[in-house]
A and B are shown apart, each in its own frame.
Chain A
Amino acid sequence: MPDAGITAFADWIATTSLSHLIAQKLWAIPAIQSVHIMSLAIVFSSALVVDFRMLGLMSTGQPLSAIARRFLPGVWIALIFATISGLLLLIAEPVRSLPTWEFQGKMLSLLCVIILTLSFQKLIAARAPAWDAMPGVPAGAKLAALVSIVLWILIIFGGRWIAYHAG
């Protein structure tokens, strides 16, 4: 991992005026974190409702494609707000977050779960007639839904654990 490059980049961000502005306002970081938590609450819940429906645990009386159409846009819209607030937090405290394995693991998990969710969206639409009639999807897709839940939980753990990064 190019740690020296990332650390140098983090050091540079810390010298910018935007970074100083956010870091010096006592209320700014908790306020931005609150927006981040509200956004992630919508992202996480929207994704999990679709995952639970795929697993046959929730809303089994309704077609999967209808659930996906209702909730997946929430993932993408709230993800924009989570990304903006997350970027501001990064700019405020780059050295504390960017070089840590917790942050890097969180971003890797996020990339994986975005790709997974995009493929769910396509697959659910493509298989609509067959999958809509079933309470849960076939075993392979169920496993993918389970992986999605685990990835989202890892993302939340990674984010919180940045604050406890040692050394």
Chain B
Amino acid sequence: MSITEFLQALESTAFATAVREGAILFPFAESLHVVALAFVIGTVVFVDLRLLGLASRNQPVTRLTNDLLPWTWGAFVLAAITGLSLFSSTPERYFTNTFFRWKFFFMFLAGVNMLVFHFVTQKNVKEWDNDPVPPTPARVAGALSILFWACVIVFGRWVGFTL
């Protein structure tokens, strides 16, 4: 099955048709998408600001991440489900949209940045968990994360104007 065939099959599902043709389902999924992404990006930025040494400086880094990130992942799942619902309404139009592709490129970069932080930078977190200003690699991870997620928002918003 080619990508085009897959997108067409997705578009012809009963669910996609309901999202596309109903008056309520699309705006509802879109609003829920904003609720979810607001929580994802807000809580990620809280962690990023801590890594930059700009906020929550009296908190151990791992306490903040342990408190916030499970909720962040929950909201991310909601953003993914609602996002996929919106995508399914007109899959080919999203898939071929340049801004949509840039959005996912930056989400990919945010993911890579997160993995590098998690598996490399954070390995010796015990040594700097309580430092008000974490070491340079952690600060770089925080700054890149804010940059990449801001790009995700900007390109995501443009999709709505260019479909």
Q: A residues bordering B, Cβ < 8 Å?
A: 29-31, 33-34, 37-38, 40-46, 48-49, 52, 58-59, 61-62, 70-71, 153, 156-157, 159-161, 163-164
| A-B contacts, 7 listed (Cβ < 8 Å) | A37-B37, A42-B42, A44-B39, A61-B63, A70-B55, A71-B46, A160-B27
A160 to B154, CA, bound (A): 16
Residue of A30, A45, A70, A153 touching B42 (CB-CB under 8 A): A45
Q: A34-B153, A156-B31 are in contact. Are A49 and B38 (CB under 8 A)?
A: no
CB distance from B55 to the nearest CB of A (A): 8
Inter-chain contact A38/B150, CB cutoff 8 Å? yes
Q: Flag whether B71 is at the interface (Cβ < 8 A).
A: yes
**0 or 1 for each of B108-137: is its CB under 8 Å from A? (1 = yes):** 000000000000000000000000000000
Q: A37-B38, A45-B43, A157-B31 are in contact. Are A58 and B67 (CB under 8 A)?
A: yes
A159 to B56, CA, bound (A): 30
CB-nearest residue of chain B to A158:
B31
Residues of chain A lying within 8 A (CB to CB) of residue B56: 70
Residue of B38, B150, B161 touching A156 (CB-CB under 8 A): B38
A-B pairs, top 4 by smallest CB distance, nearest first, are: A45-B42, A41-B38, A41-B42, A160-B31
CB distance from B19 to the nearest CB of A (A): 14
Q: Flag whether B158 is at the interface (Cβ < 8 A).
A: yes
Residues of chain B lying within 8 A (CB to CB) of residue A41: 37-39, 41-42, 45, 153
CB distance from A54 to the nearest CB of B (A): 14
Inter-chain contact B154/A164, CB cutoff 8 Å? no
Residue of B37, B39, B157 touching A30 (CB-CB under 8 A): B157
Q: Flag whether B7 is at the interface (Cβ < 8 A).
A: no
